[in-house]
Chains A and B, each alone.
Chain A
Amino acid sequence: MNPERPPNAPPLSTLVLTGVLLLALAGASYGLSFLTLGAYALPVALAIAVCKALILLFVFMEFGKLSTSAKLAAGAALLMLLLLVGLMLADVATRVRPPLPPPTVS
């Protein structure tokens, strides 16, 4: 059913395997969310999300085979996204908040 594969085309089996791997990672993340990880819950969930994103990017979206200009475009977009989130968070994090109005001493 599978005539000779055109050059540099990923075999169908790797695609299916990648799908299964992604589902597994999602399941793991779902399972972990029930444990009370407290402060680590978000970083762990995001780390797994980043792994899934990289897999999706390199296998399904064939990021590796792109021309350098397309890679530059994607890289620039990611850079600007991190810049926006980072500098906004920096502002919120380093704000000096004056104390709530001190009650007048009776």
Chain B
Amino acid sequence: MTTVAQSPAASASGSYVTSQKTIRSWLLATDHKRIGVMYFVATSLALALGGLFALLLRIEHLTPGPTIVTALTYNRLFTLHGVTMVWLFMIPSIPAAFGNFLLPIQIGANEVAFPRLNLLSFWIYVVGAAVVLGAMWLGALDTGWTFYAPYSAQSPSAVVPTLIGIFIVGWSTILTGINFIVTTHTMRARGVDWMRLPLFTWALYGTSIIQVLATPVLGLSLLVVMCDHAFSWGLFDPTRGGDPVLYQHLFWFYSHPAVYIMILPAMGVVSEIVSTFAHKNPFSYEAIVYSTLGIAFVGFLTWGHHMFVAGMSSFDAGAFGVLSMLVAIFSAIKVYSWVATLFRGSIVMATPLLYVFGFLLLFMFGGMTGVAVATMSLDVHWHDTYFVVAHFHFVMVGGTLTAWLAALHYWFPKVTGKMYSERLGTLGFALVFGGFFATFVPQFLLGNGGMPRRYYNYPARFQTLHVASTLGSWVLAAGMLLTLGYLSLALVRGRGAGGNPWNSRCFEWRTQSPPSEKNFDGEPQLSLGAYDYTTPWRTVQRTQ
């Protein structure tokens, strides 16, 4: 507490952006902040591409019969939409982009544990993504992002190149997971012990556990499908003793924890933003932390609820059903804590908080329909219909994408040192939220009516709902484009944002924005708690 806290104006050494200017210094940077920004650009491109595929799918569904593409192209488009969104955007977007940038700062360190490994995992991601998208020229694949055996072994499309790409991207997730766990364990600054860590760091820690433990099993199932397709080894071919349901076990052992890889960081972002804009300590810090770890571990027990009607035994179905209910309770605890944090707070309405309220409503819908789908007799009717499509889009787009937009607006001043315009932000939110609702609520009704998934031609009676959903998707796309517009505008001509525009107590707001190369000049002053709003910010600055 000796020196006055270095005021968060730009310090002498400039920021991580200005310290080196050449392209090469960016592409080969081992500074976790630069790698984070590069990840952000790469994953945003993937989001744009995945979104384009989604728009094409929706336009195709304007009429029951063929509209703009043939069946062959449609089947490859929905697979590409799935693969691009899952592996190239949802999984790396918040952990790798925002996680890389903020984790070291939030624990008071100046770098991740293995900086060169961090750069290596970025380039592995880029190579993997290039291979996946390169496979499009060879005709991509039409098995859906689940590659179920035995069709994935017989499909005439370019299965092997795409799977090689995903296998490579998988290793990038594992290496990032290892990097984050070791950083959180060994690099925390003095005084930052486990129960004083920011909640976003806890979310990244839980996500990294899942990344390290689940992704290898995906790697193996991809290897098996590649061998089945290329050399017809028939590991799941029943005439040679195999059993296709076993592939589904292997695939979903990874893929259900993978959806928690996608949602946990989003929950971390929401915990941060709710606490900052309510200007209050989280309702129960311990409940949120233990729920994060609960989701990370119990998430591994529930994969069977994807296979209730797949020919699995009734006993196993029952076991997976009850375990799925167990993991749902942790999400419920988090929702209660977020809403309770608002109690007796001093709430400031801004775009990040708007997106968080959007997240809350959509995630509650998505989560509760998830519990409904895990109720086994209902799943028999809903499985593989548009009800399930609507459910996971509510949790993925309504959850992770909305939280990604919230994080983008919340840390935009910290990353770029510039401020975006609130009015355009609110308009962007309205378009995104309204467009989302109009796109996916009709899909719940489609699912109820029995409209199966992955259908190129659909029965005519579903047309009105499909048209409504397509119109909604256009509004959602407009909202995303508007957000891209005003954020790029703010990047160029936004007014300067100080070190702590939101008046937050969390550790990343105690440095300048954009932060200097070494994050903290001198010893980081983190004695005041990350969520201690009992003393006003002015007195905090004077006494630190």
Residues on A facing B (Cβ under 8 Å): 67, 69, 73, 76-77, 80, 83-84, 87-88, 90-96
Contact = CB atoms under 8 A, between A and B. Distances in A.
24 contacts: A69-B181, A73-B181, A76-B209, A76-B213, A83-B300, A83-B301, A84-B249, A84-B250, A87-B304, A87-B316, A87-B319, A90-B315, A90-B319, A91-B249, A91-B312, A92-B243, A94-B313, A94-B314, A94-B315, A95-B311, A95-B312, A95-B313, A96-B313, A96-B314
A51 to B, nearest CB: 26
B131 interface: no
B201 to A, nearest CB: 15
A93 B315 CA distance: 10
Given A67-B185, A84-B217, A84-B250, 4 more contacts: A69-B185, A80-B213, A80-B214, A87-B249
Interface string B289-329: 00000000100110010000001111110011000000000
Contacts of A76: 209, 213, 297
Contact of B253 (A84, A93, A96): A84
A36 to B, nearest CB: 25
Contacts of A87: 249, 301, 304, 316, 319-320
B480 interface: no
A88 B246 contact: yes
Contacts of B214: 80
A40 to B, nearest CB: 24
Interface of B: 181, 185, 209, 212-214, 217, 243, 245-246, 249-250, 253, 297, 300-301, 304, 311-316, 319-320
A88 B314 CA distance: 13
A88 B319 contact: no
A76 B209 CA distance: 9
A95 B315 CA distance: 8
Contacts of B245: 91
A94 B181 CA distance: 38
Nearest to B246: A88
Interface centre among A77, A84, A87, A90 (most CB of B within 10 A): A87
B315 A77 contact: no
B459 to A, nearest CB: 32
A91 B300 contact: no
Interface centre among B250, B314, B315 (most CB of A within 10 A): B315
A88 B185 CA distance: 33
Nearest to A83: B300
A91 B185 CA distance: 37
Contacts of A80: 213-214, 300
Given A69-B185, A76-B209, A91 B217 contact: no
B253 A90 contact: no
A104 B543 CA distance: 92
B209 A88 contact: no
A2 to B, nearest CB: 33
CB-based closest 5 A-B pairs? A94-B313, A94-B315, A91-B316, A95-B313, A69-B185
A84 B320 CA distance: 12
B313 A91 contact: yes
Contacts of B249: 84, 87-88, 91
A106 B304 CA distance: 43
